[in-house]
A and B are shown apart, each in its own frame.
Chain A
Amino acid sequence: MSTSSPSSSTSKSAVPALAALAAALVGIAIAFAFYVAPEDADQGISQRIFYFHVPIALTAYACFAWGAVKGLLLLWRKDERYDLESYVAIHQGTIFGSLTLLTGSIWAKASWGHWWLWSENQLVLFLVLFLFYSAYFMLRFSIEEGPRRANISAVYALFGVVLIPVSFLAIRLAENIIHPTVFTRDGPQMSGVMFLTFCIAWLAMSVLAYALYRLELLGKRLDSNLRELRELLT
């Protein structure tokens, strides 16, 4: 049973470069968000958290979707390496999901004076997802390692991506909508610089998530290779 992928030697050299790129992009995004983007006339300084909150949320969705895709590949191709990739993607998604809850909470406090608002659909959705994916870790770590665990984790990851739109619909049905909608069907209602800042921040968060994903994957593979070596020695 080998858990290392054929491309692990090339990925080792790619990770520092990716990390450097992510750091640079996050730096540029911070500079743009605080110094280049104009101040929002309505919300003032607190609106600037938008450049982090929304990209982080989108990145979290992307991580969950990535985890589900890898889960699907595992069920389809029965290749064990997808299990670890799915797990790491969901782990990153949960980290970014927690950050979304945190930044959203700060934004809600600054804008509406409350740390938590049930009328904020996106935040409520992230709370549901946070609970759902926290249970993923509980489930995964209480099953013995092996193909059964890989299968069950993959199926649960697939449930996650189905739960996202269903929960979103449910929360919409449950609450009236007062969350500020920035994107409408006519395109984003932002000035050019604001939109550019948003795109840079989005790119920065995506690259950061990908760098963290590759780094964690590298560490986890190293761990399992080491364990295999130890088992062979004893």
Chain B
Amino acid sequence: MSYLGDVATLARKDLRLELRARDTLPAMLLFVVSTLVVFHFALPEGADEVAAQGLLWVALVFTALLGLARAWAPERESGALEGLVLAPCDRSAIWLGKAAAVFAFLSSVELVALPAFALFFGSVDAATVAGVVLASIGICAVGTLLAAMAAASRTRELVLPLLFLPLAIPLVVGGVGASVSSEPARYLAFLALYDAIFSILCWASFEYVVSE
């Protein structure tokens, strides 16, 4: 089977698991809407729209963390990761398949979150949508690898946000810049640069995270 065929099979496995068990996606959806409602009460009367734009990114990053914490749970609970590592496919395909599945979940959540945000707090412009798409790629690429690291540790869900948030700061900078700046192009370019650099790094180093 070709490399992309392996990736597609692995991603399809995750999507099928999710369709059958419905563990992660409903939780992420409910979480992002609840967070937006909490933000309405966290923003005092008279707070400007720019502040709300920043909070959108907080909501997205934390929702992604919720999904990422569960990303490797099926493999861990049934001890399937060893099997996947031994399978005759390139190990980076495991990472790419998982990142694609996580991206599918996160995009579905954003399809709900962005209209909900527009409904609650005002408009969402094209630059914000582009920023969300680019940042989601980076979140999924880096987050999937870090989640695999965290899955190998005793503390698991506890350590993942600690690993992820410092690496997510540039994404938040790029995303918020794209949302609020009058010239979003350079922020979008920065997000694309981040995606390219970290995707290559994750793709090259995943093998070492899962093997001994």
Contacts and interface: CB of A to CB of B under 8 A. Distances in A.
A128 B153 CA distance: 23
B17 interface: no
B155 A135 contact: no
Interface residues of A, number: 32
Interface string A190-204: 000000000000000
Interface in B154-211: 154-155, 159, 162-163, 165-167, 169-170, 173-174, 177, 186-187, 190, 193-194, 197-198, 201, 205, 208-209, 211
A199 to B, nearest CB: 32
A23 interface: no
Interface stretch (A94-102, A106-114, A136-144): A136-144
A142 B151 CA distance: 10
B149 interface: yes
A131 B153 contact: no
Interface string A79-116: 00000000000000000000000000000000000000
Contacts, number: 88
A61 B206 CA distance: 25
Contact of A158 (B163, B165, B166, B205): B205
Chain B contact residues, majority secondary structure? helix
Interface stretch (A34-42, A50-58, A160-168, A209-217): A160-168
A196 to B, nearest CB: 37
A169 B170 contact: yes
A131 B149 contact: no
Interface string A115-153: 000000000000011011011001100111011110110
A128 B186 contact: no
A202 to B, nearest CB: 27
B208 A163 contact: no
A26 interface: no
Interface stretch (A2-10, A13-21, A170-178, A220-228): A170-178
A142 B162 contact: no
Given A155-B149, A170-B174, A142 B201 contact: no
B165 A131 contact: yes
A123 to B, nearest CB: 14
Contacts of A75: 205, 208
Contact of A139 (B159, B167, B177): B159
A162 B197 contact: yes
B128 to A, nearest CB: 16
A154 interface: yes
B167 to A, nearest CB: 6
A53 B193 CA distance: 31
B50 to A, nearest CB: 14
Interface string B130-164: 00000000000000010001101111000100110
A105 to B, nearest CB: 19
Q: Which of A134, A138, A144, A152 has the most CB of B within 10 A?
A: A152
Contacts of A151: 208-209, 211-212
Contact of A162 (B187, B201, B212): B201
A143 B210 CA distance: 13
Contacts of A170: 169-170, 173-174, 190
A170 B187 CA distance: 9
A174 B201 CA distance: 24
A154 B174 contact: no
A154 B212 CA distance: 12
A163 B165 CA distance: 12
Given A128-B166, A152-B149, A159-B201, 15 more contacts: A75-B205, A129-B166, A138-B163, A139-B153, A142-B155, A148-B152, A151-B209, A154-B208, A155-B145, A155-B209, A162-B198, A163-B166, A169-B170, A173-B177, A173-B186
Interface of B: 145, 149-150, 152-155, 159, 162-163, 165-167, 169-170, 173-174, 177, 186-187, 190, 193-194, 197-198, 201, 205, 208-209, 211-212
13 contacts: A75-B205, A128-B166, A138-B155, A139-B162, A143-B154, A149-B152, A154-B208, A155-B209, A156-B163, A158-B205, A159-B167, A162-B198, A174-B173
